[in-house]
Amino acid sequence: MASKKIHAIYTDDDLLLQAVKQTRAANYHISEVFTPFPVHGLDHAVGIAPTRIAITSFLYGLTGLGVAVLMMNYMMIQDWPQNIGGKPSFTFYQNMPTFIPIMFELTVFFAAHLMVVTFYMRSKIWPFKKAENPDVRTTDDHFLMEVDADNHDVEKLTKFLYDTGASEISLIENEQDH
């Protein structure tokens, strides 16, 4: 079974944002929007839920802090306590002020690196993956809105998209494997 999509090209980000709002108000399904730069308010206009990557970043930071505390407690207190500069090495809390830079650095290290890995996995950006950009101009100065046209009159949808300010429209038919 073939799926039909319409690619509408826009030349201005404000025009695209207004077109997305009009298209959603007309109950057409926007499957994807490609832009050369982030457009403020576009994710809300398309209906994309807010991201939860900040929550995962916080959890990764806590993991890094936990690893730092356990690592320093084991190395500096239990395994091989040393008297460095006259500082006692009896308990962890007595030495904690000197351990703060290490705890901070490992918190940031874990949060940053694991957040990047999570972002790549969530976005399905794998090494050597072929780009999915349908039009090369969207990396330069054009904006593309991909609208599902399966259950709609294509000519009516095309006219509607031209009325929203699209400069170019093309019908794309893809074969789906089920």
- If asked whether residues 151 and 97 sit together in one domain, one would say no
Question: What pLDDT, in 10s, does the model give residues 94-113?
Answer: 778 888 999 999 999 999 99
| Tally of domains within the chain | 2
- If asked whether residues 66 and 8 sit together in one domain, one would say no
- If asked whether residues 88 and 57 sit together in one domain, one would say yes
- Residue 46 in domain: no
Cβ 157 vs Cβ 147: under 8 Å = yes
- Residue 114 in domain: yes
Cβ 173 vs Cβ 135: under 8 Å = no
- Is the sign of the CA dihedral 47, 50, 52, 54 positive or negative? positive
What's the rounded Cα separation, in Å, for the pair 73 and 67?
Answer: 10
Residues 6+ apart with CB under 8 A from 83: 89
State residue 175's pLDDT score. Answer: 67
- Residue 135 in domain: no
Residue type at 54 in one-letter notation:
A
- Residue 149 in domain: yes
Which residues of the chain, if any, have pLDDT below 50?
178
State residue 2's pLDDT score. Answer: 65
- If asked whether residues 63 and 118 sit together in one domain, one would say yes
Q: Which domain, by its residues, includes 9? A: 2-36+141-175
pTM over 0.85: no
